[in-house]
Homo-oligomer: A and B are copies of this chain.
Amino acid sequence: MSGAVITGMIADMARWQGGARERLQAAALKRFAEQGFDGTTVAEIAETAGLTERTFFRYFADKREVIFQGQQEFERVFLAAIEEADGAGAPMAIVAKSLDAAALFFPDERRAWSRARQAVIDADPSLRERELLKLSSLAAAMSTALRARGIDVTAATLAAESGVAVFRVAFANWIAEVEHRSLAECLRAAFAELRALLPPA
C-alpha cells in the first residue's frame, strides 16, 4: 500500500471523525506507516496531530495503546451476544450471533482505519504477537461464556476457536484492497466455506 493511499485514507478518517483522540490516532497511523512503529516517538505523533504530548497522554498510556485501545470493549461485544442469545441454541449458532454482533462494531466507515492499523501490525513482530494473544484471549473468553451456558468444554472450545478463525479470515477479506462486501457478508461467506470444508463423515 503506497504512502499516498494511506495519507488519503487517513484524511478520510479525519474528516469522518474529528476530535483530539481521532487526530492523534490518524497522526500515529501516518507516522507508523511512514517510519515504522519502533521508529516513531510520541512527540512526533503529537506534532503531526498539531497537539501537545501532554494531550496525547490524556488519551493514551503509550503509543501501543493507539493500536490496541478498545480491546475490552471489542471483547465485550462478542461476550454480551453469547450471554444474551435466546434459549438453548446450538453452540455454533450462538457463536455466529456473537460474530454478527461484532460486525456491527466495524461499519464500512471503519474499513480504512482497520486496513491501515493492520498494515502497521503486520510490519512489527511485537505488535503481531500482541494481536495474536488478543485473539487467543478472545477465544478463551468466548469458550468460558459458552460453558457458562451449560455447553461442555470440548464443544465450547471448538466452537469458540473455530469462530475466531472465521472472524480472522472474514476480517482479512474485509480489509483487502479489492473488497466491497460488508464484514457481516464476509463472515457469512467464511462460515459457509468452513462448513464446506467439513463435509459430513
Q: Size of chain A's interface in residues, with CB distance under 8 A?
A: 31
Q: Do A158 and B91 touch (CB < 8 A)?
A: no
The chain B residue with its CB closest to the CB of A95 is: B197
- Interface residues in A121-138 (C-beta closer than 8 Å to B): 129, 132-133, 136
- Which residues from chain B contact A168 at a C-beta distance below 8 Å? 157, 161
Q: How far is the CB of A94 from chain B (nearest CB, A)?
A: 11
A158-B154 contact in complex given A195-B201, A201-B192, C-beta closer than 8 Å: no
Q: Do A197 and B158 touch (CB < 8 A)?
A: yes
Q: In this complex, which of A91, A132, A159 has the most chain B Cβ atoms within 10 angstroms of its Cβ?
A: A132
| A interface secondary structure, majority | helix
- Which residues from chain B contact A61 at a C-beta distance below 8 Å? none
- Which residues from chain B contact A193 at a C-beta distance below 8 Å? 154-155, 158
Q: List 20 A-B contacts (CB under 8 A).
A: A90-B197, A92-B197, A154-B169, A154-B173, A155-B193, A157-B165, A157-B172, A158-B166, A158-B190, A158-B193, A161-B164, A161-B169, A162-B162, A162-B165, A162-B198, A165-B165, A192-B201, A195-B200, A195-B201, A200-B200
